[in-house]
Structures are given as C-alpha cells and as structure tokens.
Structure 1
Amino acid sequence: MNETKPILTVTGSDSTSGSGVQADIKTISALGGYAVSAITSVTVQTTLGIQEFHDLPAKIVEGQIEAVMNDVEPEVIKIGMIRRVDVLDVIVNAIRKYKPKHVIYDSVFLSSCGDALVPEEVAKAISERLLPLCTLVIQFDAASRHGLANHYSSAVAVYLSKGETEERAQQLAKAYVNAQVVRMGGLQGRSSELYNEFIDALETHMLTNSDVHFYADCLNVSSRYLAQVTKRICGKAPKTIIDERLMQEIELQLLTTDKTVQEIAYHCGFSSQAHFTKFFKKMKNISPTKFRKL
C-alpha cells in the first residue's frame, strides 16, 4: 500500500466531541492516518443536542482549505456539515481546482436527536453541485448513534488514503466501526440526575418562585440546557412543569381548605387575586370560584 497522505476533513465542530471534526480526528488518528481540518461551523452542543450554530464566513473556510491544500496536498477530502451556500461554493471550487483523488461526503442533514442541521436551500444546492463531484456519498439513518457516520466515513477516508479500493475501504471501515460500537458507550450527560434535582427544587420553591431562570440558577446550568433535559425526559418545557405543579397545589387548596380565593392566591405566591384568577383561567379555562363550586 502507498504511504499515507494527510486527510482533510471539512465539517463542523462538536463541543461534546461525539461527532464533527473532533470525531473525525479521533478516528483518523486511531487508524494511523493524519487529519488536517477546515471548520465550517461551531456548535454550542450538549449530549442532549445542539443549542446554537455559529457558521463561519465563507472567506474563513476558504482560507483554511487553501492553506492546507497548498501546504500538505491531501489527496482525500472528507466533507461533513455545510450550512451556507457560499461555503458550499468555496468547497466545490476547491475540489475543482485541486482535484483530490477521493472526495467523501458524509451527508449530514439531521442530527441523531432529529434536529435539522442544514437549511433546505443548502441541501438542494449540495445535491445539485457537490454530489456529482464526490467519489463516495455516505448516508446513515438519523436514529443512528451520535457520531457513527463520522467514524465510518473517516475510516473509509483513511483506507482510501492507504491505497485501498473503494469497495475494500468500505469493508474495512464497516469492520472497524462494528468492532468499536461495543466500546463506544459515548459521553453521558447528567440529565436524569439534573431532572430529579429540578423536581426537588420545585417542591421547595414553587410557592415563592415560578421563574425558569431561578431554577436554572439553583442548579447552576443554563435555562436552555434545563429545557433540553426536561424535553428529553418528559416531553415538557420547564415552565409547563412549574405551572402544572403549581396548579396541583392550587387545586388541593381550593378543594380541601376553607381559605378564601384571595388567601390561596397569596399562599401560592401571587401578588394579587386578579393575577391568580388570570393564571387559573389560563390553565383550567374556568375561574377558581366556579371550579371550587363544581
């Protein structure tokens, strides 16, 4: 087999290292290859999914690709997440200019959590302009384990860089990934633990605070991460959980005590009876007085 040349991966960054350029570099290095990279997007990401995208300007992506291609001349390019048409233009132009032996496209349109990664117009442009230039297009189902497509396509890239045929490279990559799946437990977040802590905090503070930011601060996490946790575990937003638990307490007070509506309103942390009644009507579509009578 031929001496291995560097492999260029052009893709996004995953802050959990489960996919993206981090996963590519791990796999390429593990198989004895040498990875060079051009980043297209930086994601703010947890084990529960992507929170934000920060797409790099096309000029920056172009500069990264030009620097690598001019200096170390990789013969295999592995392409992942592309989210802008002007970035796609840069990549397509680079392929046409430098004519690498192999171009592998890992078709990244949905995350393993089902989040849309690529705008529709970009996906259409990729199909029309990038795919015809590719040696190999790799597509995994979106239920697939997080980062699995990265590991497979990066392994294919390594074997191609070592002079294997496309068919043999895919066979070897499949064997490698199958062997790794058993070991790849993946990074585990603390979502279950955090959810239980949120529920405990809610029991303690629900009569004095119904603000999501308050609970996020109590748990020392961002409100966005707390929302990802509750959505994953029970399919509800934190505010919905807070309001529903508060309603349980309100109904209990209305049905089992002799307190007036105003007293219950103050007991449950409302600033006025009017505010309390408005909240109750929004939740139950009936006034607290009528609810009590019924």
Structure 2
Amino acid sequence: MISNILSIAGTDPTGGAGIQADLKTFSALGTYGMSVITAVVAQNTTGVSSFVTLEPDFVGAQIDAVFEDVRVDAVKIGMVPTAAIASVIAGRLRRHGARNIVLDPVMVAKSGDHLLQPDAVAVIRDRLLPLCSVVTPNLPEAAVLLDAEPDWSLAEMHVRLRELARFGSEAVLLKGGHLGGRDSVDLLLSGGRVSAYSQPRVATRNDHGTGCTLSAALAALLPSMPLEAATQKAKRYLTGALAAADRLDVGHGHGPVHHFHALWTSHEAHSARALAPAD
C-alpha cells in the first residue's frame, strides 16, 4: 500500500524548499504527497524578500479537509510562522490522532532571513514538540529552542540532545552540518540510545532546502520502517541529492538539491538514446 504523507509548511516559488521540496521528496521516495500551506513566501535561491501568513483558522480548515477524507500515514511540519498557527496545528493534529509526525523547526532560511515571529518559538516548543515522533533541528535551530549559543562541538551535541528531548518528542535528530569537517554527522536520540549517522560532506553551493528534504524523507519512510532505518535511508537520499545538485541549473545563489537524482538518471539515458541518430 502506498503511504499518504502530509506536509504542513510554507512555499518556495523556485521549488527548492518548503512545500515544493517536500512534495518532490515524497514522490521520489514512492509516496503520495499532500500539502497544507501556512505561509506564501516570496523567495528564491538568493534569499527571502517577504512572506504572507495565512489565517490560522484557514490553516486549520486545510488540515481538517485532508484528515476528514484521506488516510494520513505521516505528517511533516515545516514553516510555522506564528504562535496562533502553531496552536491551531497542534490542536488539529491532536484531534485527528495524527501519527508519525516529523517536525523540522524552520526558523531561519539559508540566506539568514527569519521565517517566524519570536512568540511562535514557545508554542512550537511547548505544544508541537510533545506530539512529534521526531524533531530535526540543525544547530542554529536547536540553539533557538534551547536559548543557547550555536557554536557546539560534536561532544557538546551529545549533551544538547538530551536537553532537547526534555521538550517531549519521542526522538531528536540533531543535525551537525554546521560543524564543518570532512563528514556530515547527525545524532539521533531515540529510546534513550544515541546513534550517529555520518555521510561524506558534499562540496556544492547548491544546498538550498536540505533541511526540508531530510525531514520530508523521514516522514515518507517512517510508515514503512523503524526510525533508525528511516534515518539512515533519508540521510543517504539527501547525500545523493546533494551529490547530483550541480546537474541542475537553477538560480544565481544557493540552488536546490536534485530530488529526482535517482529517477532522472535512467530517464536522461533513455532520452539520449531516443534522440541519437539512427545508424
């Protein structure tokens, strides 16, 4: 049975992050994607110029429309720009008994632009995190949640993991991409046990939407496998998308990762053969 995965997030008109990246990821991993929009964002590969938040009641109405008609196997939450929207999302997900909830606490865009109001942090931390199967902050996002400095070592990440777990999510995946180094190491705390997931760091400027893509991949995979296996597969998928990102030519800034890197390889080969001159 094909899983139905819901993304609750903001938009990206250039397609590299947000709802658009989530839907691409869901499709690339063989699941059916659905979306609830929290904010319409004017952004491209060079930055965010502005965004408009939707009315909280309308966000709730979108969530109701999906759950009242469709079996939802997992939920990915991205941009939650206001406290009111965060409250509505938490209330609706609890009412509908949502499961396999993955929260990517999107707070700052790759360009450094802030994507939520300060009072939203407390509601995300106090009301949304306790509902989550896993929360996936990077180091700056974890620093905001903990009101701490983001300049951490790998050893310090182990300490911060347990502090983040106190907010009530079943598991925490703390991403260490900002640490630098040859490998990109993420730490997963689940069931009281810490596991490290490492992949070689990919040298590319085209890394827009990496957080959205990883969390969306986790949501797509969770209905069919344990969290540890889903984390390993999601990280491998993202690494492949980063490695193939330079095959795309999108924008003048941080371009998107290649969500369909595994699918388009065979398609491109087929197209080349079809266009080749006959003997």
Determine if the TM-score, normalized by the shorter chain, exceeds 0.5: yes
By how many angstroms is 1:189 displaced? 2.7
Gaps of 5+ in 1: 192-294
Which whole-Å CA distance do the structure 2 matches of 1:150 and 1:108 have between them? 8
Aligned residues: 188
The equivalent of 1:146 in structure 2 is: 208
Gaps of 5+ in 2: 141-176, 179-206, 254-279
Higher relative contact order (CA 8 A, sep 6+): 2
Which whole-Å CA distance do the structure 2 matches of 1:139 and 1:74 have between them? 23
SS of residue in 1 equivalent to 2:95: helix
Which whole-Å CA distance do the structure 2 matches of 1:136 and 1:190 have between them? 34
Letter in 1 for 2:42: V
Cα shift readout 1:39-98 (whole Å, capped 9, x = no counterpart): 000011122111111100012111111000111120211000001122111110112111
Which whole-Å CA distance do the structure 1 matches of 2:69 and 2:78 have between them? 22
Identity %: 35
Residues 43 and 52 of structure 1 are in contact (CA less than 8 Å); yes or no, is this contact kept in structure 2?
Answer: yes
* CA 1:88–1:187: 2 relative to 1, 3 Å: farther
Residues 6 and 74 of structure 2 are in contact (CA less than 8 Å); yes or no, is this contact kept in structure 1?
Answer: yes
1:51-200 map, 5 Å? 51-141=49-139, 145-161=207-223, 163-185=224-246, 188-190=250-252
SS of residue in 1 equivalent to 2:128: helix
Cα shift readout 1:140-181 (whole Å, capped 9, x = no counterpart): 2468632001111111111112x2001111011011111111
SS of residue in 2 equivalent to 1:38: strand
Letter in 1 for 2:225: E
The equivalent of 2:203 in structure 1 is: none
By how many angstroms is 1:129 displaced? 1.1
User: What is the TM-score of this pair, normalised by structure 1?
Assistant: 0.61
Cα shift readout 1:188-234 (whole Å, capped 9, x = no counterpart): 4357xxxxxxxxxxxxxxxxxxxxxxxxxxxxxxxxxxxxxxxxxxx
The equivalent of 2:193 in structure 1 is: none
Cα shift readout 1:244-290 (whole Å, capped 9, x = no counterpart): xxxxxxxxxxxxxxxxxxxxxxxxxxxxxxxxxxxxxxxxxxxxxxx
Residues 3 and 220 of structure 2 are in contact (CA less than 8 Å); yes or no, is this contact kept in structure 1?
Answer: no
By how many angstroms is 1:16 displaced? 1.1
Which whole-Å CA distance do the structure 1 matches of 2:81 and 2:50 have between them? 13
Residues 10 and 78 of structure 2 are in contact (CA less than 8 Å); yes or no, is this contact kept in structure 1?
Answer: yes
The equivalent of 2:39 in structure 1 is: 41
Moved over 6 A (4+): none
Which whole-Å CA distance do the structure 2 matches of 1:98 and 1:187 have between them? 41
Which whole-Å CA distance do the structure 1 matches of 2:249 and 2:63 have between them? 30
Determine which structure has more spread, i.e. the larger CA radius of gyration: 1
Which whole-Å CA distance do the structure 2 matches of 1:113 and 1:39 have between them? 21
Structure with greater strand share of residues: 2
Letter in 2 for 1:154: A
1:9 pairs with 2:7: yes
SS of residue in 1 equivalent to 2:22: helix
Which whole-Å CA distance do the structure 2 matches of 1:77 and 1:188 have between them? 28
Which whole-Å CA distance do the structure 2 matches of 1:135 and 1:14 have between them? 26
SS of residue in 1 equivalent to 2:119: helix
Letter in 2 for 1:80: G
Deviates more, 1:84-93 or 1:11-20: 84-93
The equivalent of 1:261 in structure 2 is: none
Letter in 2 for 1:9: S
Residues 18 and 187 of structure 1 are in contact (CA less than 8 Å); yes or no, is this contact kept in structure 2?
Answer: no
